[in-house]
Amino acid sequence: MTHLRSTDRVHPRADTSNMDGRITWMPVKTFWLLGHGLAGLAGVVLFPSVGAAAVFVVLTGVTICAGHSVGMHRLLIHRSFSTFRPVEYLLVWLGVLVGMAGPFGMIRAHDMRDWHQRQENCPPHPSHGAGFWRDAWWQLCCEFRLNRPPQLVIEPSVADSRFCRAVERSWMAQQLVLAVPLYLLGGWAWVLWGCSLRVFVSLVGHWAVGHYAHRRGYQSWLAPDMSVQGYNLPGLGLLTFGENWHGNHHAFPYSARLGVSQGQSDPGYLLIRVLRGLGLAWDVKLPGAHPDRDARLQVVD
């Protein structure tokens, strides 16, 4: 039997297999995506306006940058910096508004994919190894379920948090917290553009970046002990708030800075620097914080 590695949160059991699983269609996930897509399309067709479009742009930027990239990915999942608990909860809540999952669901999806990619062999679902349309279907509407899964252990500071538990149970309903004031301020136009269209575009955009960032682009390093490498996608730094530098992220997963080289724009890291300047962030980790691991990186010419 192939030896399976552990990660910080994922630990294989004696009988765990990372290859023995099946793709399972998730109806709720599918209808959540399609429902928001159709509602967003209705908003564009029935309520075209500059104001509604501005609401879409601003809320998408805030939830993706401050919420998903900084709050969920760099803080909750990787602990690349520290902050006060109320600030953390605000950033995580903004990440929940992106519409992917609650805090536990985001950790589970990320860490299971990361665990798969660190094994000797990785199935096509967590590696984004399928073709464009099949990978879109698998990632956006399905789930890869192992018959003999490993154990996922979320740290008590998160697992026992009343806030995280409450938001995990109600992550879909959290859109109402935003939808009500949007309706009061701008009617159905602002709701459909600011909630439904935003959620649909965010989900599809997140999948697209993940798909291409595991298949093509350029690399500066090869990450150790990973069967699936990440790639950088130049030119998308502002649009993805730094998440396009996925090759860098595979090399330095603990780093709060994803755009590590000159000219690699990383708005997410700029936000962390602002928080640090205001005294709201500290212990900000950068490449070089783990020299033993970094020494095993292979430089790509």
| 1 pLDDT higher than 60 | no
**Direct distance between the N- and C-terminal alpha carbons of the chain, in angstroms, rounded to an integer:** 35
In this predicted structure, which of 177-181, 194-198, 214-218, 296-300 has the lowest mean pLDDT?
296-300
For 234-260, the pLDDT digits (tens) are 999 999 999 999 999 999 999 999 999
Q: What is the pLDDT of residues 133-178, one digit of tens each?
A: 999 999 999 999 999 999 999 999 999 999 999 999 999 999 999 9
Predicted model pTM: 0.95
Per DSSP (E only), the strands in the chain are 10-11, 21-25, 82-83, 142-146, 151-152, 221-222, 281-282, 298-299
Alpha helices in 63-149, H assignment, sequence order: 85-96, 103-117, 132-141
- The confidence score (pLDDT) of residue 144 equals 97
pLDDT digits (tens, 9 = 90+) for 10-28: 999 999 999 999 999 999 9
User: What is the pLDDT at residue 96?
Assistant: 98
Quote the CA–CA distance of 296 and 175 in Å, as a whole number.
43
Distance CA 144, CA 135 (A): 12
Q: Is the pLDDT of residue 209 over 80?
A: yes
In contact, 274 and 102? CB cutoff 8 Å? no
Task: Using the predicted structure, report yes or no on whether residue 295 has a pLDDT greater than 70.
Answer: no
Cα 40 to Cα 56: distance, rounded to the nearest angstrom = 10
Q: Name the CA radius of gyration of the chain, rounded.
A: 19
